[in-house]
Structure 1
Amino acid sequence: MRKIFQVYLLLFAASVTESFAQDKRRHDTNYNGWFMYFGTHKLTDKWGLHTEFQLRRYHVISDAQQFMPRVALTYNLSDRASVAGGYAYVHTYPYGDNPAADDFPEHRTYQQLQLKDPQGIFGLQHRFRLEQRWVKFAGADDYTYLNRVRYQFKTTLPLAGPTIEDKEFYLSLYDEVFVNFGPNVTSNIFDQNRAYAAVGYRFHQDANLEVGYLHQHVAQRNGVWFESNHTLQVGLTYNLDFRKKSTAAPQP
């Protein structure tokens, strides 16, 4: 009987602790706009160069939130698998109900594995990304080193036939979870989750435009503030082919 009482006491204490932790949390709702360009350019049949620029705005468009250029070298393992390694610079400005004291920079390197898995009319994609981050938080004299891992599951669905063709619309959906790890993690292992839905239009094989909605749930490092960010996303993809074109031999 004593053991049963002790178990109930432990469960009660755990529930009280969890309730107290929930009471300490503060929630911040924001409305943002992310305007993005992506391009993965072919250098050879195997190698490519990924370029990217994101302009992120608070209050959808009126105020600065972040800007981020990113570049990476890519390598195609097969038609369905590729790896990449690259660098990103992120500059963050104060925004929301619990803003940073000032804007601050971040330098980031990353490694990535991307797998394509088409199933019928669904184009499925898995993306695994490992990030090394050097962040100089507002008011800090030095950079803080952080590790983060990300997993994204994405699917595309044609809206005008069994496959996505030129001059046709399609549906794009993804969910991506971010997890912190390493010695400098403070209050949260969970970093954020992004859920996305958009309508896309394919101009041709190497160009498309997507306009959609992203819900970003962010846990700030202090473990108290949690952001719920409703975000308009506009993304343009335009890929270039820099491979040498073969020329036909002249006829005698």
Structure 2
Amino acid sequence: MLKLFKTSLSAFFLLSSISIAFAQTSITPSTPWGTWFIGTVQLPGGPKKWGGFAEVQARTNGLFSQYFYNELKGGVSYDLDKNFTVMLAGGRYATYDYKAVSEGTLTLEKRFWEQLIINQYLARVKFEHRYRVEQRWLESRDGTISYRNRIRYRLNGFLPINQKTVSPGAFFLSVYDEIFLNPKGPTFERNRLYAGLGYQFSKSLIVQAGWVNQTNYNPATFNQGVFTPISGSGKNNLVLNLTYRINRHKGKATSPAERLPSQPD
């Protein structure tokens, strides 16, 4: 058992190391920390394999101050089997000037996406592979509307600390790295790296707190004989996440006992 735990722990920290190495650090380390607040209601797949979620999110430019951004989104999912889930979802994303929120949005985005999730249960370590294709409509304050596509991939690892599974009464570690790709270029648009600690109070209630670094990248340019390499600007944030799962009636559930506490965002 001890050997198995050590192997699982090594695999989890290997994921962490790969994620940190892959995600380049921000070139603006002096940027003040922000805060992400995430509240999610989930309906896991049941007897007929249909499920869904609804989520609200708010972000601040400073730590618990300078509100500037919110998200409202939801979707419908279908479990192909216990390890494969597809989803159709959409959302509304509003960005404000934190110094003048009352003046309205700087950018209002409406987004639709298709998603596939593949789960792996390897002893104590659990992995989630998430593939997403997004269609995005963005409207700026001056009325300009643009359309963009984007592809995202996230590798999320979980390690329960005091139990073998992520279930009621379990503390767990979560680490993920997500890349954002633009089909038209620049191809590598954004990287998001997260590490956090969570606790599952019951079958319904899960809380997580952690750190996320989101870095946006600008393409390399060659203008008038001057080459400018790829540059990135990033920001560290404190993440506070509350998830509530709607449990179906006893005796009717066919889903696996362990469900990974991944964040839909």
Q: Above 0.5 in TM-score?
A: yes
Could you give the per-residue CA deviations for residues 10-33 of structure 1, whole angstroms, max 9, x where no partner exists?
xxxxxxxxxxxxxxxx85834210
- Please say if residues 45 and 79 of structure 2, whose CA atoms lie closer than 8 Å, have aligned partners that are also in contact: no
> Which residue of the partner structure matches residue 51 of structure 1?
54
Equivalent residue in structure 2 for 1:178, among 171, 177, 180: 180
TM-score by length of 2: 0.72
Task: Identify unmatched segments of 5+ residues in structure 2.
Answer: 1-26, 222-229, 253-265
Equivalent residue in structure 2 for 1:234, among 229, 237, 240: 240
TM-superposed deviation, 1:221: 8.6
Query: Aligned partners of 1:43 and 1:79: how far apart in 2?
Result: 9
SS in 2 for 1:165: coil
Task: Identify unmatched segments of 5+ residues in structure 1.
Answer: 1-25, 247-252
> Which residue of the partner structure matches residue 216 of structure 1?
214
> Which residue of the partner structure matches residue 24 of structure 2?
none
> Which residue of the partner structure matches residue 134 of structure 1?
137
The residue identity in structure 1 corresponding to 2:72 is P
Could you give the per-residue CA deviations for residues 199-233 of structure 1, whole angstroms, max 9, x where no partner exists?
10011233210000001111269988732110000
Query: Aligned partners of 2:73 and 2:149: how far apart in 1?
Result: 18
Q: Residues 234 and 222 of structure 1: is their aligned pair in 2 closer, same or farther, counting only changes over 3 Å?
A: farther
TM-score by length of 1: 0.76
- Please say if residues 42 and 243 of structure 1, whose CA atoms lie closer than 8 Å, have aligned partners that are also in contact: no
Query: Aligned partners of 1:33 and 1:152: how far apart in 2?
Result: 21
- Please say if residues 209 and 238 of structure 2, whose CA atoms lie closer than 8 Å, have aligned partners that are also in contact: yes
Q: Residues 111 and 214 of structure 1: is their aligned pair in 2 closer, same or farther, counting only changes over 3 Å?
A: same
- Please say if residues 153 and 176 of structure 1, whose CA atoms lie closer than 8 Å, have aligned partners that are also in contact: yes
How many residue pairs get aligned? The number is 212
Alignment of 1:144-155 (within 5 A): 144-155=146-157
> Which residue of the partner structure matches residue 19 of structure 1?
none
Could you give the per-residue CA deviations for residues 154-198 of structure 1, whole angstroms, max 9, x where no partner exists?
01101113223322211111000001124xx5xx32221011000
Query: Aligned partners of 1:59 and 1:128: how far apart in 2?
Result: 31
> Which of the pair has more CA radius of gyration?
1
- Please say if residues 115 and 125 of structure 1, whose CA atoms lie closer than 8 Å, have aligned partners that are also in contact: yes
Q: Residues 200 and 42 of structure 1: is their aligned pair in 2 closer, same or farther, counting only changes over 3 Å?
A: closer
Identity rate, percent: 27
Q: Residues 49 and 244 of structure 1: is their aligned pair in 2 closer, same or farther, counting only changes over 3 Å?
A: farther
> Which residue of the partner structure matches residue 118 of structure 2?
115
- Please say if residues 43 and 241 of structure 1, whose CA atoms lie closer than 8 Å, have aligned partners that are also in contact: no
SS in 2 for 1:161: coil
SS in 1 for 2:167: coil
SS in 2 for 1:118: strand
Could you give the per-residue CA deviations for residues 20-49 of structure 1, whole angstroms, max 9, x where no partner exists?
xxxxxx858342100001222147521112
The residue identity in structure 2 corresponding to 1:152 is R
SS in 1 for 2:133: strand
Equivalent residue in structure 2 for 1:204, among 198, 202, 205: 202
TM-superposed deviation, 1:102: 6.2
TM-superposed deviation, 1:235: 0.6
The residue identity in structure 1 corresponding to 2:246 is L
Could you give the per-residue CA deviations for residues 56-100 of structure 1, whole angstroms, max 9, x where no partner exists?
11102211221001110111100111000011100012369xxxx
Query: Aligned partners of 2:35 and 2:220: how far apart in 1?
Result: 25
TM-superposed deviation, 1:104: 1.5
SS in 1 for 2:162: coil
> Which residue of the partner structure matches residue 20 of structure 2?
none
